[in-house]
Amino acid sequence: MPERDRIKYAKSGDVAIAYTVYGHGPPDLIFFHGFTGNIEIENEIPWQAAFLERLAEFSRLIKFDRRGTGLSDRLREPATLEIRMDDLRAVLDAVGSERAVLFGTFDAASVCVLFAATYPERTSGLVLYNPVARGSWAPDYPWRPPPDEWRQETEELVAGWGTYAAAESWVREMAVTHADDPDFIAELARYWRLSASPGAIATTRRMAADLDVRDVLPAIRVPTLVVNMPAAREEAAYVADRIPGARQFEISGPDYAIYLLGDTLVPELERFVATLGAEEPETVLATILFTDIVGSTEKVAELGDARWRELVERHHAAVRQQLSRFRGREVDTAGDGFFATFDGPIRAIRAAHAIVESVRQVGVEVRAGLHTGECEVVGEKIAGIAVNIGARIAGQAGPGEILVSSTVKDLVAGSDLRFDERGSTELKGIPGSWRLYVSRPPAEV
C-alpha cells in the first residue's frame, strides 16, 4: 500500500480515531495497546516495526491510536469504557471486519473484555496482556495502588513524561536487555513525546483508575489467552480464573515491553489464533431495562377502558422513540411495561431518564430498573437470571425513579452520571443481597 494511504480515520461519534492495517489475513487481529501510541512513526522504530510485522505474518493486523493520543482526536469528554468500546467497534466497522481476535494490554484489556462480552458474535478470541480488571485498590483486588499512591505515581509520571531519565528508569524494569543502550532509551523518550502530551497521560491515568470490569469476566464466552509478566502473575490469575476456559501463559523475560516480545509472545499467540473457530454465541452481555406505569389500575378506573388504551398507545410511542434515540432494542411489551436491552449501560441510563420525562408529558409516571449481566440468546429473544434481576430491580423503584445495580454503576465510572445509594436488599427469587443505587437525572438526556 502506498505510504499516502497507510493512515486512515474512523468516526466514533464526532471523534476521529486514526488506524492502519498490516497484512491481509485471515484472521483479523486488532491490537489495542493500553499505554500510548503513534501509528505514524511506529514503522520508523525497528523494534516496534518488527513486532507488528510478526503479527501481520499470520493475520490482518489492525492497529489504532486510542482516543486522546497519537493521531486520534484529543479528548472532548470523559472516555468511559463504553466510549472506548465504541471506538474499537468504529475501527472494526471502518475496515469491514465482521469478526476479529481482540488483543488488549493493561487497561485496554478491560475494553476488550467488555467488547467480547457485549459482541461475542464479532469476537473470535481474546488475548489479554497484563490485564487490569479494576483500576484502583479494593480489599478483594489488592494489585492496584490506593488513591493517594496512585495520585503520587501519576504526578511523577507526568512530571518526567518524555524525558530521557524517565525512559531510562522504565527500560531498566521493562526492557532490561536495552538498559545500556542510550539510542534505544532516547528513541523511546521521543516516541512517548510524539504519542501523548503530559496532560493526555494524566487524563489517561485518571480514566484507568475508574475502570472496573470484574463483574463482566464470567460473561466472557470466547476463547481467551491471558498473558503476564511474573510481577503481574497474581492479578492475571485473578482474571483468568474468572473467565470460563481461559488459559494463562507467563512471559519468561528478561524483557516485558510488549514490542519486545516477538520471540516469546508471538509464537504462543499464533498457536492460539490457529485453534479458533467461528461458533455462534449462546450468551451475550447486555444492559437490561424494565419500565412499567405506576398506578395503572387506578388510572384505568379513572379514565375508562377506551381512554386508557389511548393513553397506553401514547406511552408506547414515547418509549419507543427514546429506545430508538439511544440504540435500545425492544424485546417485549407486556401490558403497560417495556423490556429492552442496550449494548452499553450509559446509553441505557440516559434512555431511562428520557423515558421518565417523555411519558410524564403524556400524563403517566413510570418506574425503571437496570442491570448489566450475561443473557442467554434464544432466537430473537434473550433470557436468563440477568433478565430476572432487572425485572426485580424495577419492582423496587418508586414513581419516576430509576434504580440500577452495582454492576451498572461500576461500568459507568468516569462518566458524568451520579447515583445515590439505596442500600442492600434481597430480590425475590435471586440469591444473595443486592446493592442498589438511584440514578440522578443527567445534565442532558
For position 21, what pLDDT does the model report?
96
Same domain flag for 373 and 298: yes
59 inside domain:
yes
CATH number at residue 76: 3.40.50.1820
Same domain flag for 416 and 307: yes
402-405 and 433-439 as β-strands: parallel, antiparallel, unpaired? Answer: antiparallel
The 3-state DSSP class for residue 196 equals: coil
pLDDT at 143 over 90: yes
Give the residue among 400, 406, 399 at the shortest CA–CA distance from 427.
Answer: 406
Same domain flag for 265 and 299: no
Same domain flag for 94 and 125: yes
The answer to whether the peptide bond before residue 431 is cis (omega within 30 degrees of 0) is no
For position 51, what pLDDT does the model report?
96
Same domain flag for 311 and 231: no
pLDDT at 76 over 80: no
Same domain flag for 323 and 416: yes
Give the residue among 33, 59, 58, 66 at the shortest CA–CA distance from 48.
Answer: 33
Cα separation, 142 vs 156, in Å, equals 22
**Which residues, 6+ apart, have CB-to-CB distance to 32 below 8 Å?**
64, 66, 88, 102, 103, 104, 105, 108, 111, 112
Tens digits of residue pLDDT in 111-130: 999 999 999 999 999 999 99
Tens digits of residue pLDDT in 354-401: 999 999 998 899 999 999 999 998 877 889 999 999 999 999 999 999
For position 1, what pLDDT does the model report?
40
Same domain flag for 330 and 270: no
Tens digits of residue pLDDT in 387-443: 999 999 999 999 999 999 999 999 998 888 999 999 999 999 899 999 999 999 887
444 inside domain:
no
Domain end point (choices 235, 255, 274):
274
Same domain flag for 287 and 207: no
445 inside domain:
no
Tens digits of residue pLDDT in 185-229: 999 999 999 999 999 999 888 888 889 999 999 999 999 999 999
Same domain flag for 77 and 202: yes
CATH number at residue 390: 3.30.70.1230
pLDDT at 84 over 90: yes
pLDDT at 3 over 70: no
For position 5, what pLDDT does the model report?
64
191 inside domain:
yes
For position 82, what pLDDT does the model report?
93
Same domain flag for 268 and 302: no
333 inside domain:
yes
Domain end point (choices 253, 274, 295):
274
Same domain flag for 212 and 328: no
| Percent of the chain at pLDDT exceeding 90 | 80
In this prediction, residue 2 has a pLDDT band, given cuts at 50, 70 and 90, of very low
Same domain flag for 304 and 363: yes
Tens digits of residue pLDDT in 267-319: 999 999 999 987 777 899 999 999 999 988 888 888 888 888 898 899 999 99
Strand ranges across the sheet with 100-105: 8-12, 15-22, 60-64, 28-32, 100-105, 123-129, 224-228, 247-250
Cα separation, 403 vs 441, in Å, equals 12
Share the mean pLDDT of the chain. 93
**Residue range of the domain that includes 377:** 283-439
Distance of CA 125 to the CA centre of its chain: 16
Angle at 47 between CA 45 and CA 50, to 5 degrees: 100
pLDDT at 250 over 90: yes
Domain end point (choices 227, 251, 274):
274
For position 307, what pLDDT does the model report?
87
In this prediction, residue 445 has a pLDDT band, given cuts at 50, 70 and 90, of low
pLDDT at 154 over 80: yes
Cα separation, 151 vs 140, in Å, equals 21
Q: How many domains does the chain have?
A: 2
